[in-house]
Amino acid sequence: MSESGPTGIYRHRVRSGDEPVHARSPLRLRLALALTGLANGLAGVVLFALLGSRPLTWAFAALCLIALANVVLVAHRIRQGPHYQPGPGIPPYRPLPPEHPEQGPRGPATARTRHRRYLVMMGACVLLLILAWGWIRLVSVAAAVAMSAAAALLPPLAAILSNVDSPILRDDEPPEDQQPPAD
């Protein structure tokens, strides 16, 4: 997309912020969307006024007021100029420092952590079965069957996910609590 600016024609849009923290909205697109909302709101007011539905007429009138306020705000920001619409002449924000510094790769999970993961997933499986046939079947047998099918998929998934970072499957040394005894 090319734009024209104070120094000529640009081939691409220069980054204007440390997105998504300080992302800037494209004001012309926002104006078009606000005008679309205003038009839909007016159409709803007219339609529901003709149908005689007072609550919906008032709801769409409130929507029109919100959309109109948005149109006025966006038009005001567009008129304020490039301060609110930065281009290549305005430098991007300095990126924020990361909250947590980068850490190296995590080691393999301990046996206790893997057992805990497995028990939580299997507990969810048992809970699904109890809920399905103790309560949900009274409302819908099809839903109970679907819940049972989901519960049937959990045991193999639990085995896979609880052992995904097992020291047996990695090339690393096992944690200290799993070291084989020295002879």
pLDDT digits 0-9 by tens, 25-63: 678 888 999 999 999 999 999 999 999 989 999 999 999
Comparing 111 with 170, the larger pLDDT belongs to: 111
Mean pLDDT on 69-76? 91
CB 97 within 8 A of CB 21: no
Q: Select the more confidently predicted residue: 152 or 181.
A: 152
Q: Identify which has the larger pLDDT, 149 or 12.
A: 149
Q: What is the DSSP-derived secondary structure letter of residue 86?
A: -
Mean pLDDT across the stretch 59-73?
93
In this predicted model, what pLDDT tens digit does every residue of 84-110 receive, in sequence order?
445 556 555 555 566 776 776 777 778
Q: Which pLDDT does position 10 carry in this prediction? A: 47
Contacts 24+ apart (CB under 8 A), 148-154: 151/125, 151/126, 154/121, 154/122, 154/124, 154/125, 154/128
Residue 56: CB atoms within 10 A of its CB come to 15
pTM of the model: 0.38
